[in-house]
Amino acid sequence: MRRKLVVANRKMNGSIPDNRAFMAGVVQGMRELRKIDCAICVPHPYLYQAQVLLADTPVAWGGQNMSRHEFGPYTGSVAPGMLVEFGCKYVIIGHSERRERGYESDDAAGERFEMALKAGLTPIFCVGETLSEFEAGMTDSVAIRQLNAVVDHVGVRGLAKGVLAYEPIWAIGTGKSATPEHAQTILAFLRGHVALLDETAAERLRILYGGSVKADNAAELFAMPDIDGGLIGSASLVTEEFLTICRVADAA
């Protein structure tokens, strides 16, 4: 039985006072929940604040991206070891908002995944298709191409040390979530693909759904057998809404 995971991807939002209120609220709410894991991924400048406020609580924290280099002349980049120094457990890799406009290729995302594992971080690896790819029936092939880039770098066992997130780009920030049936079909397909390589890894791998998960659709999404939790964007900007999603996951 895989433990559900709910991750707040706060994207480029927040401020010191706003983060303080959000993190305190999530910690308090999570103290009542026993069956799920929860994490908050913040912009890099707020990692120290997350470390101070979330250490020794049931809530983990992480970064939203990292460099594929250990150190060096990469102005504006953040090294994996720096995330570790600030106590991160997780790092989001390959989010579509980073892949778009060619900022990140499949191979670069695979390399980042490998570097994250080497640093001792748990990568949350995002895959997902654009609207036109969805309409062209390319959902499966896009997700498999993105996933195989990770397998090429770390093998299937390495992949299973991370978390996979299916986030269809057409559902991100649009208020138009994938239907639970669509999300379940794709997640089962991805798990099946991993199972062809290694059944144990497939059984262990946590796969999240992301894309307009809200308090009012979380229950039907989390009821699906292959959906092991959510990667939550806009709904993580409102403490009570995010906590409702956590409670729903805990009850699922």
Range in contact with ligand 13P (rule: CB under 6 A) among 67-75, 196-204, 209-217, 241-249: 209-217
Query: If binding is defined by CB under 6 A, does position 231 make contact with ligand 13P?
Result: yes
Q: How far is the CB of 213 from ligand 13P (least distance, A)?
A: 6
Contact track, ligand 13P, 125-154, x by CB under 6 A: ------------------------------
Query: If binding is defined by CB under 6 A, does position 217 make contact with ligand 13P?
Result: no
Our answer to whether residue 240 is catalytic in this structure is: no
Query: If binding is defined by CB under 6 A, does position 167 make contact with ligand 13P?
Result: yes
CA-to-CA dists, residue 136 to 100, 155, 203, 209, angstroms:
19, 29, 30, 21
Give the helix/strand (H/E) hosting 207.
strand 206-210
DSSP string, 97-139: HHHGGGTS-HHHHHHHHHHHHHHT-EEEEEE---HHHHHTT-H
Query: If binding is defined by CB under 6 A, does position 39 make contact with ligand 13P?
Result: no
- 14 HSE (CA, 13 A, CB side): 26
In sequence order, the β-bridge partners of residue 37 are 5
Among 79, 186, 213, 218, binds ligand 13P (CB under 6 A): 213
- Annotated catalytic residue: which of 133, 167, 181, 203? 167
Among 36, 83, 156, 172, binds ligand 13P (CB under 6 A): 172
How would you label 54-71 residue by residue, b for 16+ Cβ within 10 Å and e otherwise?
A: beebbbbbbbbbbbbeee
Range in contact with ligand 13P (rule: CB under 6 A) among 53-61, 107-115, 149-157, 206-214: 206-214
Classify burial at 72, counting beta carbons within 10 Å of its beta carbon; exposed 0-12, middle 13-18, buried 19 or more.
exposed
Query: If binding is defined by CB under 6 A, does position 42 make contact with ligand 13P?
Result: no
Cα–Cα dist 154/239, whole Å: 36
Our answer to whether residue 167 is catalytic in this structure is: yes
Q: Which is nearer to ligand 13P, 156 or 243 (by Cβ)?
A: 243
Q: Which is nearer to ligand 13P, 68 or 95 (by Cβ)?
A: 95
Give catalytic residues, as residue numbers.
Answer: 95, 167
